[in-house]
Amino acid sequence: MTGTKQLGRIIFASTLNKSTGHDLHLWDFWESFFARYDSNLGQARAFGLRKGTLNGATTGVVYLVMFGTYGLAFWYGSKLIVEEDYTAGDMLTVGDTA
């Protein structure tokens, strides 16, 4: 079970038992409640870091492919214009027929 689910269960259990802050302090469960919460908070933080890293890496790869493709197209198009004597009209015509 992930840390966020465990955190939710701890909070839900405390509210389900109608335990207010006063009740927790009265029965001396306040420290144990926060100890359980803090121990599960570390798991949730680790999960969030992994998720954020994976999302960032995925987004980076997508942008790398997208801008790399644009760069390759502009490079090849300029190469065709210079070496093959293509005009801008020829380039657009080639693009439209594909």
Give the model's confidence band at 78: pLDDT under 50 very low, under 70 low, under 90 confident, else very high: confident
CA distances 48 to 38, 43, 62, 73, 85, Å, are 15, 9, 21, 37, 54
pLDDT at 33 > cutoff 70: yes
Mention every residue, 6+ apart, whose C-beta is less than 8 A from residue 54: none
Give the model's confidence band at 95: pLDDT under 50 very low, under 70 low, under 90 confident, else very high: low
Give the model's confidence band at 77: pLDDT under 50 very low, under 70 low, under 90 confident, else very high: confident
Structure tokens at 38: 């803090």
Lowest mean pLDDT among 22-26, 42-46, 53-57, 62-66: 22-26
Mean per-residue pLDDT over the chain, rounded: 78
Report how far residue 38's alpha carbon sits from residue 3's, in angstroms, rounded to the nearest whole number. Answer: 10
Neighbours of 8 (CB within 10 A): 13
